[in-house]
Chains A and B, each alone.
Chain A
Amino acid sequence: MKKINPITIIENLLWVINPCLILLCIFSNQLDLGKMLSWLGNWHPVILHFPIVLGIFVSIYLLLNFKPTISEEIEKYLFGINALLASIVALLGIFISVGGNYDKSLLTIHQWGGLSISLIAWMIVLIHKNTFASNKLLRQLVAVIYFVTIIFFTHKGGQLTHGKEALSMPTAIKAVDSNKPDSLLTVYEKAVQPILLNKCVTCHGGDKIKGDLQLTSIELIKKGGKNKDQITDRIHLPMADEKHMPPTDKKQLTKEELAILTKWMQLGGDLNKALKALSKTDSLYILATQYITPVIANNKEQADLAPFNNNYVSVQYNYHGGDKINVNFFQGAFYKTTYLEKLEEIKDQIATLNMQNIPLNKKDIEIIATFSNLEKLNLNFTKLNLQDILALNTLKKLQSISLVGMPINANQLQVLLKGSNIKKVQLWVNGLKQNDIAPVASKYPAVEIVVGDNLEAAILKLNKPIIEQDSTIIIDHINVPLKHFLKGVTIKYTLDDTEPDSITSPTYSKPIVLNTNTTLKTKVFKKGWIASDVIQKSFYKSELNPDNITLITQPDSKYIGSGGQTIIDHELGDVNFGNGKWLGYMKTNMEFVMRFNEATSLNEVIFNTLINTGSYIFPIQTIQMEASEDGKQYKQIQNVDFTNITKAYSKETNINQTQAFKLKVPKGKNYKFYKFTLRNLKQLPQWHPGKGTPAWVFVDEVFFN
């Protein structure tokens, strides 16, 4: 059996470990290690010194290019072991980096640097056998690169863990006993230290010291960081500033915390200043005594809120990584007190609670009164009385409370505000006036009391009723429902062309039935409101249907509807002239012939037309009616001039509505053929933007009676 050469084993191991390293480096943020490997990682700082020393030795050896060289065999071992150790250390380094809370950018540099050290060491082994041994220049070049790489990148690693010794500093930061009464605490213990502990020392103290700032002792705090930057230099910078602290992806300081740190630093950052030594009116005293350490889960992982959520309760963190929790309740009909009880597990973290429209009782309020860090509470329309919620007075962090819809009594309101820190109250309710709460407002000038607008007394005009019948054509009869959306209005109407009034006109109660040509006028009345405008609509009886229609002049190609049938199909177009239910003429008059199989007498002909002055659609100017027995010889029987309608228009006119033109037919003979000529306005008036050009005529229906 062939004896196994240790060198071969080393070389093969290098072939395994190095590709593995490359892969792990690329996906280092997705690594998931078992306990064993994580433990192995802890050996990284222990054995890393071997390949550093060995590596430096190798590079110096290569650089100096000793003559005569040590034996090739020993050289092989030297390079091989060096490369193996480098690769193992790099591998362990990756293991230790997973899960460790290190500076990301520094870590990345160190990680890839470690990889390069390992790869260069491997390369020295690979090329040693061939050209390397004889090429002095190459040897020296590689030596220099290797040396620089080792020094530079291992130093980065040093920076990562630098600060281990800080753990043994005598004034190491340590949380104070939370049971100690305020009177025995220093300002530092009461307010400053908790802030530093919560938001600063993960990076500036303990395991890491970023930016050379270490917040573990007062000397170090005062020394500041890089460029002597004090904490107060950085925390006030705008978020967008690169130098802003804490970093944007970390928990930010609150306004109070900013104020506490600033004021304390202004006082000289005295570590031993007792809280009670400050005047009770001193702003630092007030801030410090009110400061409550935020509740933080030790492992920094946010607790899963899923169990508290359901279709009617939404429980969410203020933001990813935040401590504060927002709670919203929806759909009062499904509300259960148990939903609220369940929240007691996270009650110290609840910052906002919205219970708008949820029917609550006193028991619910008692639960809410234990949410000691609640800052904003919405109790709009919760069917409670002010008396019921006085228990909330104990919520010292509460800043804003909304009580919309709740009957308010100035005395009770004072009880609620007394001793509380509420800064804003929303109170709007029917009938409440600014005056009603004047005594409270004068007693608590710092509290913003929003009463809102109360406009019941304002007198406004009602809007018009709605005629819920689209058709205006009566074939036999037609139902016309009327509607108004405001509660408690009276709808009055007339059918005789007179103005409806509030006394004599009939009151609408059920749909009106019409069976003859009628103009319906209607308006609404309500106490405390100005009556609406009148709305009117004409309904036409269509008694006779012609047997045939022939268009003599063709409509404009854009508005051809369905040809002649359009105007006898009992389908009306609305004010939208482009909907294909209209015939439009502009270049010519509209001329058409109606044929009845039996000679028929006509009393009245009605043309339903559109007027839209903005779109150049104007009233018909004249209508000429001719009759014939054989369809060849026509004689004029009527000619009506409507030009006055157009003449009454002015530049103020802006009409878009349908309008009927009635033609009374003089009594006379019965005919089979009737021919109509509708003349359009040939020149738009001077005031119109289209002055001088012809106007349109739009017709959607003709009725014969």
Chain B
Amino acid sequence: MNEFIEHGLNQNRRKFLSKLSLGLGGMALGSLMIPGIFDAKNEEDLFNNVLPHFAPKAKRVIYLFQNGAPSQLDLFDYKPMLQQMHGQDLPESIRQGQRLTGMTANQTKFPLAGTRFNFTQNKNTGAYFSETIPHIASISDELCIIRSLYTEAINHDPALTFFQTGAQVGNRPSMGSWISYGLGSENKNLPAFTVLLSKGKGNGQGVYSKLWSNGFLDSIHQGVQFSSGDEPVKYLSDPEFIDRGEKRKMLDEIADLNEQSYKEIGDPEIVTKIQQYELAYRMQMEVPEVTSLQNEPESIIKMYGPECILPGTYAANCLLARKLSESGVRFVQLYHQGWDGHNNLPDELVGQCKDVDQPSAALIKDLKQRGLLDETLVIWGGEFGRTNYCQGALTKDNYGRDHHPRCFTIWMAGGGVKPGVYGETDDFGYNINTLPVHVHDFHATVMHLMGVDHEKFTFKHLGRRYRLTDVAGNVVKEIIS
């Protein structure tokens, strides 16, 4: 190579490097003006500080989850066509190759099953209610009924997980955890997210604690399960002979130790632990008051039904839900098991409705008469719907129904939703005709009612930002009052 050229290049390289150092100096200068540029900053704090994004319609949520999937065709979505065609095969043009569960995949015929029950219609809203839920029908002027919900999941666990966490695989935070994380607790003496379980006599499906898990959020946002029995919150009461003064001292000492190890290790879970101890300490005072149902006046007991004083029943949980909610718990999640009517659906449904009908309606009426309904969103529904064709043997008044994700009904009340009926299914009750609402849309709408823009409310985990609605979801504005 020509030595002159080489020399010129060297000259350039040297120059370039020396100039580069000037550039780096400039950048260093600039970085002085950007505080914290080299710190790993907790961006989530920024998000937290701007919530709620806008004026919320609802301050609290009570979610009455009907676990196992109640049959929309026997409760809300009245289809006279099915009664006329009772026993005839479901046309393939309607099913369009919809996948089946393992339970009916071997059936050669899919005979349509018309409902056994009579329906009444609310003349104002056009909503239908079967005779099994007279109490819910009696409050129908308050209800926003969505008949066009749909999901992708066809089995209980994924569907339930999808509804609760926005994903079918169970590693995401539950809806209540998101709300707890975003909006915090109103009452510092109670957790922001509580869970109540009850079981009906119908065919049941499990609920697991992953459904109210905090996922990747801080574990203080996990749902706190209140159980029936003498101790509603496990391990909350002090052992005998320990008074509150002692306990306070002990907690202070433990907090000291925990803070020391936090300084050493820096694990954020240690901070959570300190907070949890403190919350538990304050809950010791509040929980017994909130959970005692015996002091409720008799007319309230009669409203929810006599079962409401039996701990662990759905009725008792509804009453408890009202008490927790009015005490400032942001998200009260109920699960009532037993709706999985694969066989003997009509009889099981009657039993389930007997558990659920009166207390659900009573909760709405009770909130209303206390002036709380307009700030509390109540949601009632399952994880998917049930098929219009029969599973197993079909007789005139007995049938079973398999899982059906393509359309199902839920209702909401209070908290800024507009009473009425939204969406419509076809005459077979198999597909959605108008205004479909996906689970993500449902989540987006609930978040919106709580004053949260679901697209802006995220948490960064493993290098990407997550939201309850992941990358989907549209707010259903038409149902917002």
Contact = CB atoms under 8 A, between A and B. Distances in A.
Nearest to A21: B30
B283 to A, nearest CB: 11
B22 A15 contact: yes
Interface in B287-312: 289, 293-294, 297-299, 301-303, 305-307, 309-311
Contacts of A240: 475, 477
Contact of A27 (B25, B37, B289, B347): B37
Contact of B54 (A319, A331, A376): A319
Contacts of A37: 33
B31 A23 contact: yes
A356 B326 contact: yes
A283 interface: no
B14 to A, nearest CB: 14
Interface stretch (B82-90, B160-168, B186-194, B252-260): B186-194
A463 interface: yes
Interface in A96-117: none
Interface string A315-338: 010111110101010110100000
B369 interface: yes
Interface in A425-465: 426, 428, 430, 450-456, 458, 460-463
A404 B296 CA distance: 13
B365 A330 contact: no
A564 B411 CA distance: 52
Interface stretch (A28-36, A187-195, A627-635): A28-36
A238 interface: yes
A314 B293 CA distance: 25
Interface in B1-37: 19-20, 22-27, 29-31, 33-37
Contacts of B297: 430
Contacts of B392: 689
B328 interface: yes
B232 interface: no
Given A30-B34, A320-B51, A485-B294, A16 B29 contact: yes
B19 A451 contact: no
Nearest to B297: A430
A452 B52 contact: no
Contacts of B49: 320
A524 to B, nearest CB: 10
B299 A487 contact: no
A380 B366 CA distance: 13
A18 interface: yes
Contact of A20 (B26, B293, B343): B26
Interface in B368-382: 368-372, 374
A320 B37 contact: no
Report which residue of B26, B307, B371 has the largest number of chain A beta carbons within 10 angstroms of its beta carbon: B371
B309 A32 contact: no
Contacts of B22: 12, 15-16
A319 B370 contact: no
Interface string B447-464: 000010100000000000
A478 interface: no
B393 to A, nearest CB: 7
B309 A485 contact: yes
Contact of A18 (B26, B34, B475): B26
B309 A404 contact: no
Interface string A383-402: 00000000000000000111
Nearest to B451: A319
Contacts of A455: 299, 302-303
A464 to B, nearest CB: 9
Chain A interface size range: 35 or more
A417 interface: no
A13 B367 CA distance: 70
A320 B53 contact: yes
A16 B26 contact: yes
Contact of A450 (B311, B327, B368): B368
Contact of A249 (B36, B53, B306): B53
Contact of B286 (A18, A31, A330): A330
Report which residue of A378, A453, A614 has the largest number of chain B beta carbons within 10 angstroms of its beta carbon: A453
Contacts of B35: 30, 32
Interface string A158-172: 000000000000000
A558 B366 CA distance: 47
A24 B33 contact: yes
Contacts of B293: 485
Contacts of A23: 26-27, 30-31, 34
A450 B293 CA distance: 24
A295 interface: no
Contacts of A31: 33-34
A163 B189 CA distance: 53
Interface in A225-267: 238-240, 248-249, 252
B29 A453 contact: no
Given A318-B55, A487-B294, A19 B37 contact: no
Contacts of A682: none
A603 interface: no
B187 A486 contact: no
A16 to B, nearest CB: 4
Contacts of B294: 485-487
B299 to A, nearest CB: 5
Contact of A402 (B37, B186, B305, B370): B370
A444 B126 CA distance: 31
A650 interface: no
A223 interface: no
B56 interface: yes
B33 A330 contact: no
Interface string B315-350: 000000000001110000000000000011001000
Contacts of A24: 30, 33-34
Contacts of B55: 252, 318-319, 322, 324
Contacts of A651: 398
Report which residue of B302, B392, B475 has the largest number of chain A beta carbons within 10 angstroms of its beta carbon: B302
Contacts of A248: 54, 453
B250 interface: no
Interface string B148-190: 0000000000000000000000000000000000000011110
Contacts of B187: 314, 328, 330
Nearest to B56: A319
A469 to B, nearest CB: 16
A304 to B, nearest CB: 12
B282 interface: yes
Contacts of B103: none
B236 interface: no
A37 B56 CA distance: 40
Contact of A331 (B29, B285, B374, B393): B285
Contacts of A430: 297, 299
Given A320-B53, A456-B299, A426 B370 contact: yes
Given A238-B477, A402-B371, A461-B306, A20 B51 contact: no
A42 interface: no
Given A356-B326, A485-B294, A454 B299 contact: yes
A465 to B, nearest CB: 11
B50 interface: yes
Nearest to B362: A453
A485 B310 contact: yes
Contact of B328 (A15, A328, A424, A528): A328
Contacts of B327: 330
Given A330-B328, A380-B371, A16 B306 contact: no
Given A22-B27, A30-B37, 9 more contacts: A18-B26, A319-B52, A319-B56, A319-B451, A322-B55, A328-B328, A330-B186, A331-B189, A453-B369
15 contacts: A27-B34, A30-B35, A32-B34, A33-B33, A248-B453, A328-B187, A328-B328, A330-B328, A376-B371, A380-B371, A430-B299, A455-B299, A485-B311, A486-B301, A529-B306
Q: Which 4 pairs of residues, A with B, have the shortest CB-CB distance? A: A452-B369, A402-B371, A20-B26, A16-B26
